[in-house]
Chain A
Amino acid sequence: MTAALETTGLGKSFGSGAGAVHALQALDLSIPRGGVFGILGPNGAGKSTLLRLVLGLIKPSRGSFRLLEQEQTNVSVLRRIGAMIEAPSLYPFLTARDTLTAFARMSGFSEPGREAQVLERVGLTDAAHRRAKTFSMGMRQRLALAAALLHRPELLILDEPTNGLDPAGIQEMRVLIRDLVDKDGVTIILSSHLLDEVEKVCDSVAILDHGKLIASGRVADLVGASTGKGLLYLDVSPIDAALSILGAKGRRHGEGIAAETTREEAPTLIRQLVAADIAITEARWLVSTLEDVFLSRTGGEGQ
């Protein structure tokens, strides 16, 4: 499968000397075409820096990247991309329709009726003649998305696309993103803090922290679902004896212990503990989520 984005040792530093901030450090990442790829990370992880580098807004300090199989980020490549980076950037004095017309002219894109089409797709048809300065945050977000979709991009880069949207809007956005991928064949790179949303909509993710890639892969693989491994919570006594039996598989978790095991191995493990005179008062599976993976990999405490 060809890559939509491939980075090799990509790095970006701001400032110089001892005070330099290394926003991105030697990033090696490959994002395949097709599907939704999530980029996760706490504030300052380097997500926006990566997206701005890709879009040519900032220049790399080291390393290189290939975007849609092109070495150079020139306008002809960028015009195959739709982007919505950070807060929606719009002209306050333009109406929704004029905003799209201005962006279409800037792109050299012309397709009669396309503006109305994308406004309808993001649910802004009734606000087409209202100026952007009167829009709520959610409406601004929708208009920015319409602008990103306007010229039928192959690759869509969305930074926090659900910011400012109400629950119904978030649900619509999720459906729209899946539609774009599944029906229109668009590749989407999505950066978000809403981990449950990412888990619902993304096929693969990369987790960044302090400018470094700390994990990447398919969501299912990262949460352990595909391997069948999970965490079994056991309320046992005495804990130390149980931990010595479990060895590397076990660790303290709240009032009890968590054992990394599979559903097939679980009965055997429980029998071992009972045979060693360890009292078990509760046993239940801990559901592993992307949030657990994210927190554990970025230094937070997972389940």
Chain B
Amino acid sequence: MILQALRAELLKMSRNRWSTFWAYGFPPAFSLIAGLIVQFVVRLPAGAEMFNAAAPISSVRDGLATYSGLFLQIFPIAGAAILFAGEYRWETWRAILTRNGRTSIMIAKLIAFVIAAVLSIIACGLAGLVIGLVDASQAATIVWPKADNGQIALSLAMSFAGAFLQLMSTAGLVMILAVLSRAIIAAIVGPFLILSVAEIASIRFRLPDYRDWAPLFPNLASDAIQQVSHSMIGNSGATLSDLARSAMGGADAYAQKLAPLGAAALVFWAVALTTTAIFVFRAQDLSKE
């Protein structure tokens, strides 16, 4: 039944083209366009003296980490809100709950989000690759990581996993707020505000006041994972944003220690929030969607 519901969800997403593009296609498109603007509008006029080295692998890694910033998360948050609160908005629960089970439909929606999020993160990585290659074609020197291929692959996989887990914990938050509020707008604004507050509150737990439980903040958890990913391929090809994140997020040693807890915390948030949302939805009276 989950597969049947998933096929229906994917059909709806494919037909709701503009919403799907804005939710999952715009962030990679924005990253690509912004990166190319930097290349052609800032870098070329500045000349080779200012940016004399290009690091394509770092650029891909940066692309995969696009969603570690809250700003671009607003788009998949909106996409998740449409998935989880859309049936309340269009009053379609009463039309589909005679056709499939509550749990199956919610799990199918979650899987649909996973598929869209994975494709979006990969597209962000590809946008980073394009920017990196354009950068390499302009730079005097191309910096390749000192790490071997296996480490590079692991680093990219960790960057992908960090972004993915962060998006899934955010999706869990959207899901529970969608079920509780029964409104798309609340399912967008609510998580954005909560994550903004968490981001502000987490500032005091960055270095040098790091606490062992700090990765319970999703953004710090993701930062720790991204920092480890970054440290695996070295700083030689680091971009400005890498260095800035490194300075804010903490040293490599701290990141190595906290990344596993960060990953576990993100998994915990994702599982706890989605499970709670499904249980609440199973018991919810739909007297009026």
Residues in A lying within 8 Å of B, measured CB to CB: 14, 49, 52, 55-59, 74-75, 78-79, 81-83, 85-87, 89-95, 98, 101-103, 105-108, 144, 147, 151
A57 to B12, CA, bound (A): 22
A90 to B95, CA, bound (A): 8
A144 to B11, CA, bound (A): 18
Distance in angstroms from B38 CB to nearest chain A CB is 35
Residues of A contacting B241 in the complex (Cβ-Cβ under 8 angstroms): none
Q: Is the CB of A103 within 8 A of B95?
A: yes
A55 to B289, CA, bound (A): 14
Residues of B contacting A95 in the complex (Cβ-Cβ under 8 angstroms): 15
Residues of B contacting A82 in the complex (Cβ-Cβ under 8 angstroms): 98
Some 13 contacts from A to B, beta carbons below 8 A apart, are A52-B286, A83-B94, A83-B95, A89-B289, A90-B90, A90-B92, A91-B90, A93-B15, A101-B11, A103-B8, A105-B8, A108-B1, A147-B95
Q: Is the CB of A75 within 8 A of B1?
A: yes
A89 to B86, CA, bound (A): 12
* Residue from A55, A78, A105, A144 within 8 A of B4 (CB atoms): A105
Q: Is the CB of A107 within 8 A of B287?
A: no
Known A57-B287, A75-B1, A107-B4; judge A92-B98 contact (CB<8 A): no
A85 to B4, CA, bound (A): 23
A228 to B1, CA, bound (A): 54
> Which of B4, B8, B98 has the most C-beta atoms of chain A within 10 angstroms of its own C-beta?
B98
* Residue from A58, A98, A101, A151 within 8 A of B287 (CB atoms): A58
Residues of B contacting A91 in the complex (Cβ-Cβ under 8 angstroms): 12, 16, 90, 92
Residues in B lying within 8 Å of A, measured CB to CB: 1, 4-5, 7-8, 11-12, 15-16, 19, 90-101, 104-105, 283, 285-287, 289
Q: Is the CB of A107 within 8 A of B91?
A: no
Given contacts A102-B8, A103-B99, 12 further A-B contacts (CB under 8 A): A58-B285, A74-B101, A75-B1, A75-B101, A85-B94, A89-B92, A90-B92, A90-B95, A91-B90, A94-B15, A106-B8, A144-B95
Known A58-B286, A106-B99; judge A98-B94 contact (CB<8 A): no
Distance in angstroms from A142 CB to nearest chain B CB is 14
Residues of B contacting A58 in the complex (Cβ-Cβ under 8 angstroms): 285-287
Known A59-B285, A98-B11; judge A78-B98 contact (CB<8 A): yes
Q: Is the CB of B99 within 8 A of A78?
A: yes
A14 to B94, CA, bound (A): 19
Residues of B contacting A105 in the complex (Cβ-Cβ under 8 angstroms): 4-5, 7-8, 11
Closest 7 CB pairs of A and B: A105-B8, A107-B99, A106-B8, A57-B286, A108-B4, A106-B99, A58-B285
